[in-house]
Structure 1
């Protein structure tokens, strides 16, 4: 049984959400990627090295997402003691997805308040990340990416709400891993392709389409939670 009640493979959906959230990822993390790249000494900026570092950053980042997903889903196992509680968590996840869509489309920035919750943790982690710079080796990049993965982000928090509803640490980790992989195209593209992709993803029409798609998906989830909906 699909624990999300969506009727679709959750990992595929999480991957698509990562793709649709590319506009937010570029806006929030694109500058970080550029700063990390330019922090590498010019004599060491070979294409192979930069590609390895970019891969390392993102490997560490996605690993942190998966750890967070497992922890949150583990909490979900303690909360889903009754069918009513499970439904309540699924409702919460659907509402968070809708809020994420409003955030992506730039219609409502309420998720910034949610991000503020994570800033306390980030104040302790940011100095750790700074000590790892400048990054010139892949292990350094993975370590820095693992720190970066805890950067306060409403998009990530929305997906963690879904992990909570999964109520299974392994599935929660897999869900966040699929989401993280979905964000890769927006963050790995380089050079002219990055500028073209960035312009396309940041375009208002693209953001609106992504937001409407996520809202439709969330509403479908809510419909599946109605009594008898799956049999109607």
Structure 2
């Protein structure tokens, strides 16, 4: 029996959907509106406002999220390509199984992170600052000049850049993308995850502070984090062989056996 390389996409979508409560703090203010361009030589602030009220909000928010998800897919393709290049996932089932143990463990830790019970994933975000310090200055190049409003093209570019913002949630899912064993599989894995975050980010872009206030409630974060934690624990139980192959396969990152 061989183990299927590609994990089911549904749990990645749900992880993005539930984990997007984290986006209220990370990206909530970003997708609301863009502040005035900084003066020459001034650094672009982290809390850049991306959609001026005078612009049609929906088209701009859609463009921003298309760019963001596109960056996720690129990162997933790179991660999947690394797994494919190593070739170990297809030749060493034990190593692949260990990878899925790690992926589900990361999912469980993400649930604790969303619940504010454990903040260890913040260390991964600190590591991502190395790349972000190179990407962030590029944001000033997509800002309109002379006080003009943002259009969809600039919003697309801004979203593509902001997709590289250090995020422990994204990093935890990238491990699963790497386990897909191919660039295409990794890109599709991150697409599923990105689409899961889309409803929340659209809502944040259109409703702004009203929705962010609700998402910051401790009960909401605890409920979403507990569900993500449950996904991770369920996957760990499947990986350990403690649960039968059934409809649970659609809820676990651990792949079922394939002939």
- State the TM-score, normalized to the length of structure 1: 0.86
**Aligned counterpart, 1:102:** 112
Indicate if the aligned counterparts of 1:14 and 1:179 stay in contact, CA closer than 8 A.
yes
Residue 59 of structure 1 deviates from its aligned partner by 0.5
Name 1:60's counterpart in structure 2: 67
Equivalences for residues 10-89 of structure 1 within 5 A: 10-36=8-34, 38-39=35-36, 45-46=53-54, 48=56, 50-77=57-84, 78=86, 79-80=88-89, 81-89=91-99
The DSSP-based 3-state class of the residue aligned with 1:180 is helix
d(CA) in 2 for partners of 1:95, 1:69: 19
Q: Count the aligned residue pairs.
A: 223
Partner residue in 2 for 1:215 = 229
Other structure's SS at 1:32 match = coil
For 1:133 and 1:192, locate their aligned partners in 2 and report how far apart those are by CA, in whole Å. 20
Task: Please say if residues 186 and 198 of structure 1, whose CA atoms lie closer than 8 Å, have aligned partners that are also in contact.
Answer: no
Identify the structure with the greater helix proportion.
Answer: 1
Task: Tell me if structure 1 keeps the 8 A contact 2:13–2:195.
Answer: yes
TM-score normalised by length of structure 2: 0.78
Matches within 5 A, 1:92-171: 92-134=102-144, 136-171=150-185
Question: Could you say what secondary structure the match of 1:152 adopts?
Answer: coil
Distance 1:61 1:190, change over 3 A: closer
Bigger Rg, structure 1 or 2: 2
Does the 8 Å contact 1:72/1:164 carry over to 2? yes
**Please, what is the CA RMSD of the aligned residues?**
2.4
Unaligned runs of 5+ in 1: none
